[in-house]
Structure 1
Amino acid sequence: MYCITKQNVLAYILYLSLYLGVMIRPCYAQRPAVIPQPVALTQNSEVFVLNTDTRLYRSINIAESNLVFFNQYVRSIAGITLKASTQRTGSNLVTLTIDSVAVKQKEGYHLAIGNKGIQLTGNNEAGVFYGLQTLIQLMQPVVGKRINIPGGNITDYPRFAYRGMHLDVSRHLFPVSAIKKWIDILALYKINTFHWHLTDDQGWRIEIKKYPALQNISAYRNETLIGHKKELPHQFDGQRYGGYYTQAEAKAIVRYAAERHITVIPEIEMPGHALAALAAYPQLGCTGGPYQTATYWGVFNDVYCAGNEATFTFLEDVLSEVINIFPSQYIHIGGDECPKDKWKVCPKCQQRIKTEHLKNEHELQSYFIKRISNYLATQGRKIIGWDEILEGGLTPGATVMSWTGEQGGIESARQHHQAIMTPEKQVYLDYYQSLYATDSLAAGGYTPLSKLYSYEPVPASLTPAEASYILGVQANLWTEYITNTRKAEYMMFPRMLALAEIAWSPKATRNLPGFLTRTRVNLKLLKKQGINAADNFDQITDTVTTSSDGTLFLTLKSSLPNAQLRYTTDGSLPDAFSLKYTSALPVKKTCTVKAALFIGKTRYQDIYTKQLVVSKATGKKVSLQNQPAGNYNPGSTDRMVNGLTGNSRYNNGEWFGFSGTNMVATIDLGKPQSISSIATHVLNYHWQKMWPPVEMVFSISADGVNYQDVYRQTNFPLNGINTVGAKIPAVTARYVRVNAVNQGTIPAGEYGTGAAAWLLVDEFIIN
């Protein structure tokens, strides 16, 4: 903290430009907007002015490639080309050195910035590179060819060795130029691993010269699903889609990434997600085909035949070319979502089980993975697999990528195997960022920037010794619903900045308000780099609570600094003169609340809209005979009577899901009430394994023991949300029972045949 004087006016102007919403005042204390947040940062009143006379000295053990991106950025914002210096002393000098004694942590660096110069010392070349990325984030152009850099000292190093981002190019592929652009941004935020998902059911994206049909057939699909897979009937665009990366293009990306200290790890899926490969080489499947590259999204029963020697010959041939393209220590072999249906009836697979003395098809999958792992070991490589590779026994030396939750990573660590944490509900970038209807189509779920930032990669249940096996953390971008680069960038950024900070910065220093302040500054930096980043993280969000008298209390909030929140309850659009929100709104009757953020008369972010339904059931006690399961367990039955209904994206936490079991709920109205209508909603999305009930029955009771049926429904025709509403002659009762009979097992011929059907129900509305 320092006060304004003539000597530091320029520095003060710089700091004003660095921070959004900083108000002029005599004294201030602000931290530079560096992401990820450094381990230690101290500021002083000095400012280094980088200009056309600035010279740069690098020690002989620092490759020029470390400076490429840095020099490009300096030229792009100020038109300055730094001059090389053979001397490491003098003024107006940027000095780069490597000293593993002075900086002990791998990839670590130390920055000292003063009026006369900058000294950057790295533990290794990566440390120097990351120090330069921090300098880029500190820079702000001034008038003319000058860049001010605020003075201070930074000591920094990563928390985790593995800091990754995954990109699926099987569903939709992106040009080499876009991938290089994204690699630049990943490097800027100290991400050091690019996990490249190259093969799947919907397309094979890497050239394999020994198998040309992978390029001619597997790389293309006949058409692509339009809209979300849950929507029936499925519709298609009728357009052939596909392509692949040549080995030369892939090698160029690997080199480009390596210059920015990013390792590219390829993923070649096996034994499941193999339809594209089987379309070209049907003899590798259990039935011999014919097969077709998938045109829609999902999990498919046709997988590589584990009893066929030709399968392993093919995969070893493929991997031999892959490892010549990718020098990474690890090769990702998938291993997830492999149905065993075909293996159970395949003579070759059953013979393999018998010959290898395996217990079942799960151990057959383990055999498959171990065999591939052993081959890669002969080539000096290791495998990474999704957490399903734990099934049937974990392959020695395998690293587990824990995606279905944290349990796979926990089990792996307890078995003394390294694990990379990438749980779907916390760090998947194909999830919605907003609950507003305006958010772009996504796979499902809800992972706003704040939720991703709050994720802690080391599970609390692990001992310190077990926790040492957590190698790092990764965010995954699956591209079923991402058809172009702008949409990809919208889904990636700024959420990848949150991933970068939880992967690099000390746990104790993480702070969401501070991170959001720095993110707002970095949005400008991303825009300069041509990135179409999402900026909706300051949208209004809400919390609804209930009281036993049926009153709802709506709490609204936003992280946007200095904004006023104004609202209406009559459905009209709020403006700068609407009611100002100051505290939780009591809602005693059904209404639609709309709210907006204003700074002065200017509105920011989209309009918030929420319908609140108040009925005689609101805030009353609900008991369930069977408990909800999986992702559809909101945690408290209070949410069945909180005035909010579920949405068609089933990601707002209002749906209660029952897997294979009936939903039997009893609502206690507290005292006898006159009842003339009972309603709720159920979801019908067969492509999400969500089935309506066989029947739903509403019953009433005066004493909670003897019930009388008042309504029965057996037809739920809509593909989507079905309203179940009963108008009945007025009757007095205290208890209402809703009994929804689950479909049970998904019938033959339907998606997920044989699995337990999901039954989803939301709000109970009684009047």
Structure 2
Amino acid sequence: MNCIRTYLLTILLMIAMPLSMLAQAGSQSLPALIPLPVTITPSTEVFIINATTKVVVADGALNKIASLLNGYVLAYGGKLLTKVTAVPGSNFISLAIDSTAIPHKEGYLLRIDKKAIRCIGHDASGVLYGLQTLRQLWQAGKGSLQVPGYTINDYPRFAYRGMALDVSRHLFPVSFVKKYIDLLALYKFNTFHWHLTDDQGWRIEIKKYPRLQSVAAWRKETLIGHKKEWPHRFDGKRYGGFYTQQQIKEVVQYAADRKITIIPEIEMPGHASAALAAYPALGCTGGPYATATYWGVFDDVYCAGNDSTFVFLQNVLDEVMALFPSPYLHIGGDECPKTRWKVCAKCQQREQALHLTDEHALQSYFIQRMEQYVNSKGRQIIGWDEILEGGLAPNATVMSWRGEAGGKTAVAQHHPVIMTPETNCYFDYYQSLYNEEPLAAGGFTPLQKVYGYEPLSESTDEASTKYLTGVEGQAWSEYYTSEALAAYMIFPRALALAELAWTPKPQRNYDSFLKRLRGEGALLTHEKINYDAHFDDISFTAVPLQNNVLQINLQTAAPGSEIRFTRDNTVPTIQSALYTSAIEITNTCTVKALLFNRQQQPTGRLFQQSFRVHKAVGAAVHLQNKPIDRFNPGNTTLVNGLFGGNRYNDNQWLGFSGNDLQAVIDLGRAQTVQRLALEVLNYHWQRMWAPVTLQLLASIDGTHYKELYRQDSFPVNGINKLEVPVTPVRAQYIKVIGTNKGEIPAGEYGAGGNALLLIDEIVVE
């Protein structure tokens, strides 16, 4: 052992140089490794894995990992390797654990030269991660694998590196779940968050409650299209299923062999429609209930005043804990409307008996009661950041999804935090603004936005560092209608999160990541992942200038490509204009652009964007009320020549929650105005309500205004486009007033909450 440690110390000294010095250390660039290791030292040597290569395993705890290595080798066309306990002279792969020489948990040292591959881990997880790095390095030959020489010292940035998968909305077979786990292990995630219950289906067998299998696991039909579309359309096909306890055990062991902990999520007290359909006595009204057939948040939740609710959930968790050895259980706690609790006699009696102030405090009681039970079994709970409302359970870990506020609050209370803000970590959001993208939940989370996220970046105090456990990516499956589509939506964004979770912040670089990601293409294809480099698509920015001019900038990350474009609505060819600098747009038009490779062949998808140039483009805009953060791209968005799309995710909509819109546009000088146009959204299923009244007014002096137009009805479910010819009038100032709906009325989605008023592009002609 002393000899091994002396050897390790020598190697560690050799690899002490930072990555920034690699270019000076040798001619090799960074290999296609994701996540990027802490240090890499290249050599010119190559190791060949062939039929005579031995796997040296002196520690019996590594036998399963050695078997995994053999499986990886066979999958790439190599030959089965013989396991031995003694180190031969050469041509071997040795696996060992040495927590003294490798001080960081889950860390490893991987040394590859022409004679051998040595993988030493702090623990078994570290050894496995060293082999995952090895998988990304080797190249398949005829019956052998070639591995370039490197010395790699590596360890993770965060202790918690998670990816979720929702199987309630769409159920995925065990084979896909295992494949998913394989990919998580490959990219050094150590936690799989399995979302097993929700309104649309209960997916885990609970033997004490057979109706969870026969009723709650099934819905009569499924929504077609997006939930914002009205009227809702359905496919008329019964849908559902569940995992048996035997299947759960099989998956748990499969993950454990790959050093991945599975955290099950059993939703409570909300998102309970499926369970209530099976056992209606658990609800406040007694039903009847039905497993939900569309996506959203529903008023019917577990009754907090009924002791049988807690008995049911405790019995469920007993069976869940017997299946999952994880120290954590996720109990949800999110999106629980209090509508039923407010009028439920049992819930109100509970509030009064416990002297609770309101229904938020009742939810806190609910969560804390369940936490006490889970703690009594030696486990801990994780909940979404809504569990902060009414008072946080004493030992809970908070998963912060509604931005970073919940995470900051939990850290201040000295609770562990897992950051998963929907703006950066939700992979059911669109990854591109191209119209060809498959239907998604909404939002816009491109690869670069995931990679660039820095959790709690504004909090640099020791407490933030101490309680920030890690990060997690969310894969909600409302619109994951197939395995292929799920993989398309999750990858490669999960790889960006993997590097964020593992690699030290100073060493992360997006351009470097893209180069390595392109090198991962063959590996992802081999793993049968629908990998498409849409991150190389053409993107744009538009800057409104003075004198009603738009400056358009086109960008691409694709190496060795050039952009050709047109402004006459035709598809570009190799003869079209070459993009070399910003384009100035002075007239309404559609810009189309294509990438051309070195062989002058078109590649990628067609970019197209329409621009409407009018008198207000680039004008000053003054708002009486501040838009909400989610829909606040800046005042000039209202006059930048671009119209917001029906996915409301393109950073073109201004939104006001409960507040009225009042915008004044200063045209800079008096001009003749004879047409006004704008867009407002009317998506009640997203809490987006058109204004009760919309007024368009004009003024010469900015004080005295004349009403030019008023509208009190917006019949279109979706984008209401207004094109308003007016009697010609001289004006320097245009005022737009939109009266917010205010509180969403009873019976509507989000009843009791603030209505959103969304508006875009105010056209003045």
* TM score, norm. by length of structure 2: 0.95
The Cα of 1:63 is off from its aligned counterpart by: 2.6
Give the whole-Å Cα distance in 2 for the aligned partners of 1:710 and 1:503.
Answer: 55
Give the whole-Å Cα distance in 2 for the aligned partners of 1:687 and 1:466.
Answer: 37
**8 Å contact 1:54–1:94 — kept in the other structure?**
yes
Q: Which moved more, 1:321-330 or 1:352-361?
A: 352-361
Is residue 43 from structure 1 mapped to residue 42 from structure 2 by the alignment? yes
The residue type paired with residue 133 of structure 2 is: T
The residue type paired with residue 45 of structure 1 is: T
The residue type paired with residue 343 of structure 1 is: W
Residues 495-644 of structure 1 mapped to structure 2, 5 A cutoff: 495-599=493-597, 600-634=599-633, 636-644=634-642
Give the whole-Å Cα distance in 2 for the aligned partners of 1:131 and 1:278.
Answer: 47
Residues 483-502 of structure 1 mapped to structure 2, 5 A cutoff: 483-502=481-500
Q: Which moved more, 1:210-219 or 1:112-121?
A: 112-121
**Partner SS, residue 363 of structure 1:** helix
Which residue of structure 1 lines up, in the alignment, with residue 185 of structure 2? 187
**Partner SS, residue 149 of structure 2:** strand
Give the whole-Å Cα distance in 1 for the aligned partners of 2:263 and 2:67.
Answer: 23
**8 Å contact 1:198–1:205 — kept in the other structure?**
yes
The Cα of 1:461 is off from its aligned counterpart by: 2.2
Give the whole-Å Cα distance in 2 for the aligned partners of 1:365 and 1:647.
Answer: 38
Is residue 154 from structure 1 mapped to residue 152 from structure 2 by the alignment? yes
**Partner SS, residue 687 of structure 1:** helix
The residue type paired with residue 515 of structure 2 is: T
Which residue of structure 2 lines up, in the alignment, with residue 289 of structure 1? 287
Give the whole-Å Cα distance in 2 for the aligned partners of 1:427 and 1:68.
Answer: 34
Give the whole-Å Cα distance in 2 for the aligned partners of 1:410 and 1:633.
Answer: 22
Residues 383-398 of structure 1 mapped to structure 2, 5 A cutoff: 383-398=381-396
Which residue of structure 1 lines up, in the alignment, with residue 92 of structure 2? 93
Give the whole-Å Cα distance in 2 for the aligned partners of 1:694 and 1:82.
Answer: 73
Residues 451-470 of structure 1 mapped to structure 2, 5 A cutoff: 451-470=449-468
Which residue of structure 2 lines up, in the alignment, with residue 230 of structure 1? 228
Deviation track 1:400-428 (CA, whole Å, cap 9, x = no partner) reads 00011111111111111101000011100
**8 Å contact 2:55–2:66 — kept in the other structure?**
no
**8 Å contact 1:410–1:462 — kept in the other structure?**
no
The residue type paired with residue 513 of structure 1 is: D
Give the whole-Å Cα distance in 1 for the aligned partners of 2:746 and 2:362.
Answer: 25
The Cα of 1:462 is off from its aligned counterpart by: 4.5
The Cα of 1:724 is off from its aligned counterpart by: 1.4
**8 Å contact 1:35–1:497 — kept in the other structure?**
yes
Give the whole-Å Cα distance in 2 for the aligned partners of 1:296 and 1:534.
Answer: 29
The residue type paired with residue 755 of structure 1 is: G
Is residue 761 from structure 1 mapped to residue 763 from structure 2 by the alignment? no
Aligned length: 739
Is residue 664 from structure 1 mapped to residue 665 from structure 2 by the alignment? no
Give the whole-Å Cα distance in 1 for the aligned partners of 2:283 and 2:722.
Answer: 45
What is the alpha-carbon root mean square deviation over aligned residues?
1.1
Deviation track 1:126-158 (CA, whole Å, cap 9, x = no partner) reads 11000000000000113x222211112100000
**Partner SS, residue 63 of structure 1:** helix
**8 Å contact 1:700–1:709 — kept in the other structure?**
yes
Which residue of structure 2 lines up, in the alignment, with residue 84 of structure 1? 83
**8 Å contact 1:425–1:445 — kept in the other structure?**
yes
Deviation track 1:345-378 (CA, whole Å, cap 9, x = no partner) reads 1111111112222221111111111111111111
* Of 642, 649, 652, the match for 1:651: 649
Residues 409-448 of structure 1 mapped to structure 2, 5 A cutoff: 409-448=407-446
**8 Å contact 1:62–1:97 — kept in the other structure?**
no
**8 Å contact 1:109–1:127 — kept in the other structure?**
yes
**Partner SS, residue 468 of structure 1:** helix
Residues 223-302 of structure 1 mapped to structure 2, 5 A cutoff: 223-302=221-300
**8 Å contact 2:661–2:739 — kept in the other structure?**
yes
**Partner SS, residue 639 of structure 1:** helix
Which residue of structure 1 lines up, in the alignment, with residue 164 of structure 2? 166
Which stretches in structure 1 are left out of the alignment for 5+ residues?
A: 1-26
Give the whole-Å Cα distance in 2 for the aligned partners of 1:720 and 1:580.
Answer: 37
* Of 364, 367, 382, the match for 1:366: 364
**8 Å contact 1:540–1:558 — kept in the other structure?**
yes
Give the whole-Å Cα distance in 1 for the aligned partners of 2:438 and 2:27.
Answer: 40
Give the whole-Å Cα distance in 2 for the aligned partners of 1:54 and 1:151.
Answer: 16
Is residue 119 from structure 1 mapped to residue 118 from structure 2 by the alignment? yes
Deviation track 1:3-39 (CA, whole Å, cap 9, x = no partner) reads xxxxxxxxxxxxxxxxxxxxxxxx9431111110001
Give the whole-Å Cα distance in 2 for the aligned partners of 1:342 and 1:317.
Answer: 24
Which residue of structure 2 lines up, in the alignment, with residue 218 of structure 1? 216
Give the whole-Å Cα distance in 2 for the aligned partners of 1:115 and 1:690.
Answer: 64
Deviation track 1:472-518 (CA, whole Å, cap 9, x = no partner) reads 10000111111110010001111111111101110110000110111
* TM score, norm. by length of structure 1: 0.95
Give the whole-Å Cα distance in 1 for the aligned partners of 2:228 and 2:331.
Answer: 28
The residue type paired with residue 472 of structure 1 is: G
**8 Å contact 2:412–2:463 — kept in the other structure?**
no
Q: Which moved more, 1:66-75 or 1:605-614?
A: 66-75
Is residue 400 from structure 1 mapped to residue 378 from structure 2 by the alignment? no
Deviation track 1:291-323 (CA, whole Å, cap 9, x = no partner) reads 111111111111111110100100000000000
In 2 relative to 1, CA 61–85 (structure 1 residues): closer, same or farther, beyond 3 Å?
Answer: closer
The Cα of 1:88 is off from its aligned counterpart by: 1.3
Which residue of structure 1 lines up, in the alignment, with residue 69 of structure 2? 70
Give the whole-Å Cα distance in 2 for the aligned partners of 1:748 and 1:325.
Answer: 42
TM superposition outliers: structure 1 runs of 4+ over 3 Å: none
Deviation track 1:579-599 (CA, whole Å, cap 9, x = no partner) reads 110011011111100001110
The Cα of 1:558 is off from its aligned counterpart by: 0.6
The residue type paired with residue 744 of structure 1 is: G
Is residue 308 from structure 1 mapped to residue 310 from structure 2 by the alignment? no
The Cα of 1:667 is off from its aligned counterpart by: 0.8
Give the whole-Å Cα distance in 2 for the aligned partners of 1:62 and 1:540.
Answer: 50
In 2 relative to 1, CA 79–111 (structure 1 residues): closer, same or farther, beyond 3 Å?
Answer: closer
The residue type paired with residue 629 of structure 1 is: I
Give the whole-Å Cα distance in 2 for the aligned partners of 1:689 and 1:359.
Answer: 28
Deviation track 1:561-603 (CA, whole Å, cap 9, x = no partner) reads 0111110110000122211100110111111000011102222
Is residue 139 from structure 1 mapped to residue 138 from structure 2 by the alignment? yes
The residue type paired with residue 309 of structure 1 is: D
Deviation track 1:314-338 (CA, whole Å, cap 9, x = no partner) reads 0000000000010100000000011
**Partner SS, residue 186 of structure 1:** helix
Deviation track 1:601-638 (CA, whole Å, cap 9, x = no partner) reads 2222110000011000000111111111141111x211
Give the whole-Å Cα distance in 2 for the aligned partners of 1:715 and 1:396.
Answer: 50
**Partner SS, residue 315 of structure 1:** helix
The Cα of 1:86 is off from its aligned counterpart by: 3.2
Q: Which moved more, 1:455-464 or 1:467-476?
A: 455-464
The Cα of 1:193 is off from its aligned counterpart by: 0.4
Give the whole-Å Cα distance in 1 for the aligned partners of 2:483 and 2:505.
Answer: 32
Give the whole-Å Cα distance in 1 for the aligned partners of 2:745 and 2:393.
Answer: 35
Give the whole-Å Cα distance in 1 for the aligned partners of 2:465 and 2:352.
Answer: 38
Give the whole-Å Cα distance in 2 for the aligned partners of 1:148 and 1:76.
Answer: 14
The residue type paired with residue 632 of structure 2 is: N
Give the whole-Å Cα distance in 2 for the aligned partners of 1:362 and 1:533.
Answer: 44
* Of 333, 336, 348, the match for 2:334: 336
Give the whole-Å Cα distance in 2 for the aligned partners of 1:551 and 1:667.
Answer: 16
Which residue of structure 2 lines up, in the alignment, with residue 130 of structure 1? 129
Deviation track 1:441-477 (CA, whole Å, cap 9, x = no partner) reads 0000000111100011233224123321011100001
Give the whole-Å Cα distance in 2 for the aligned partners of 1:41 and 1:383.
Answer: 38
The residue type paired with residue 609 of structure 2 is: K
Which stretches in structure 2 are left out of the alignment for 5+ residues?
A: 1-25
**8 Å contact 2:433–2:444 — kept in the other structure?**
yes
